[in-house]
Amino acid sequence: MVLKIKKSKNYLIALLAIVIFVVLGSYLKENQRYVLSDMKVIVTAKVPKDDIFQLFYWEKSEPKFKIENSIRTNVKAEEGFQEIFFQLPKITDLYRLRLDIGENADQGTVEIEQIKFIKEDEELVFKAADFNRLFVGNEYVVKNGTSGFDGKAKVVNGRSIYDPYFVSVDGSEEMNAVRIDILTHFPYVISAFICLVLFLFAVYNVKVGSVTRQGFFITAFFTILLLPTVQNEIQFTEPLENLEKRELAKMPQFAFTAEFARNFEDYYNDNFGLRNNLINWGGTYRTKLFRASMHPELVMFGKDKWLFYNKVDSRMYRSYSRSSPLSRDRTKKIVDQWMSNKKRYEADGREYFLAFWPNKHSIYPEFLPNMMKIQIKDTPARADQLIEFIEESGVPLKFTDVRPALLKNKGDKLLYHKFDSHWNDYGAFLAYEAFFEQNKELGMKPKTEEDFDIKWVDYSQGELIQMLGVRNKGFFIEKNPKFTLLEHKDQIEYLPIDGFPKLTVITKNKQCGNKKRALIFRDSFTNSLIQFFSLHFYEVYYIWGHHEEYVEKLQPDVIIDGFVEREIGEKVQ
């Protein structure tokens, strides 16, 4: 009788193992790892003449290939084969790749020996034959032998077009290998291994007797301890991106020293499996239930779920709290520097304009948390100190102040993001209007709201949400305006920025009605202004920070210094 019961238990355990195998295998197959982090692509090719190669990546959430999702690299001509590198960012659910093999119509034959993909877990190398299964050339590509390709121009609507590129073959074994990490290529093999371990464990316990309560808790305890290691090895759930604005500890070089032990502990604390998931769960719990920030030293909850940046001893803190007003000498030094720039530019026939873009704290102080309100000193803001000094000294300088326009209109519509430090496009539009109205010497009349179709759409992003240490899944939602010109909506053309600093934006507008070239020294607040300022100049160069050398290099007609309020006085001691 006992033997029959044990046999029945074994059959039951075997049946349960089969069920777990099918369910777990199906789950792993459905959740195959499509997130690629820091993938490198190396094309080994022979390129006879100088050219530019470009690699596009298309994520499934996007409708098509986009110029923003591409990497360009300059290629110098060489007699032999050379390696052409592309460093891709984190890609979620890669759909297709596109490789452009040049813009030089006189290039001749490009020979591609191989293409290599280097990922976290594996390295894929596709030789010429594999390359031809992975990619297919467009109508501008002519095959020349096994590995040679010629680009040809075609006349379209009276214009000669030269655009040779390859697009990956969707569904090919080669593309699937690129898209999916090696450990999730075999979901049912992984499932079988896990089920085998569980089956043997269960059979052993049936033979020795029933599983005790203590045994169950010991098993559960060790399972929990092993989960981070298992996650690092097979990633049974998709790892979340780290949101901390710091560099995590790197794996130290092994040595028999106490320093190695300390450094390894720091490394493990920063990189153990499920770490970001656990931080997210804890942050979400505190945020939703208690409106408590995981990092109150960085960001705090205000009224009506508004978030405000609050890092103590930062430029933002000194600015909104008015805890570090400018001395008289420092104020004079700043104004003297601006006047020196103005005189030098105007001596060369250029127009010079100054403006600052208000902090979120300055426009919406009523939503600040009480803890931040009591930090505000009874002293003038730096912007007001400078404006007052300019007026008193009588220097021919204007420091454009758009705060009145924003404060006047903030009751009608939202002007700043609730969950970000920046203004939205409507706040930027009001600032743009105020800037041109206050600087009529430009001779340009700003557009009005009637010139745009303005749609308010759901928006759930924001840098301050990330600083909370949580992922937003519907808890933080606001309305965000999108401006579209009613007439000639595509008049602004975005040009390549080769040779310019990172974060440069260059625009051309042939319908602006003039040939003026503008140089705008920008920061992050300028992002939302580009769509408006570029309507009024033939060419605009938006350079991050103030780089004096570009005045001489670009020879602009107009120079605009525009920066956020918290930067006032920070770079002049």
Mean pLDDT, the chain cut into blocks of 10 residues (573 residues total): 53 68 64 69 93 90 85 90 91 88 88 89 83 89 88 73 88 80 59 70 58 68 73 67 70 82 85 77 68 79 92 90 94 95 95 97 96 94 96 95 96 93 96 97 96 93 80 80 94 90 92 96 95 97 93 96 94 63
Return the HEC string of 425-485.
Answer: HHHHHHHHHHHHHHCHHHCCCCCCHHHEEEEEEEECCCHHHHHHCCCCCCCCCEEEEEEEE
Predicted TM-score (pTM) of this structure: 0.61
Strand partners, 483: 454
Q: What is the dotted CATH code of the domain comprising 35-180?
A: 2.60.60
The angle, 0 to 180 degrees and rounded to 10, between the axes of the packed helices 187-208 and 213-234 is: 160
CB 138 within 8 Å of CB 167: yes
Cα–Cα distance list, 449 to 146, 358, 455, 525, 555 (Å): 58, 21, 12, 20, 33
Pairing status of strand 558-564 against strand 517-522: parallel
Measure the CA–CA gap between 462 and 307, rounded to whole angstroms.
Answer: 10
Helix ranges (H only) for 364-442 are 370-373, 382-393, 403-409, 425-438
Report CA 486 to chain centroid distance, whole Å: 30
Helices and strands, number each (H, E), in the chain: 17, 26
Give the tokens for residue 417.
């993001």
Measure the CA–CA gap between 130 and 126, rounded to whole angstroms.
Answer: 5
Give the tokens for residue 100.
């452009």
Closest CA to 521 of 563, 492, 549, 553: 563
pLDDT at 541: 97
Q: How far apart are the first and last CA of the chain?
A: 92
Return the HEC string of 306-338.
Answer: CEEECCCCCHHHHHHHCCCCCCHHHHHHHHHHH
CB 314 within 8 Å of CB 297: no
* Amino acid residing at 342: K
Cα–Cα distance list, 32 to 61, 181, 186, 272, 514 (Å): 17, 8, 9, 21, 55
- State residue 156 phi and psi, 5-degree precision: -125, 120
Strand partners, 86: 41
Rg of the chain, C-alpha, whole Å: 30
pLDDT at 525: 96
Give the tokens for residue 228.
């981070």
**pLDDT tens per residue across span 430-488:** 999 999 999 999 999 999 999 999 999 998 888 888 787 776 666 788 999 999 999 99
pLDDT at 434: 97
Helix ranges (H only) for 138-186 are 173-179
CA neighbours closer than 13 Å in the CB half-sphere of residue 518: 24
Indicate the helix (H) or strand (E) that contains 116: strand 109-118
CB 531 within 8 Å of CB 485: no
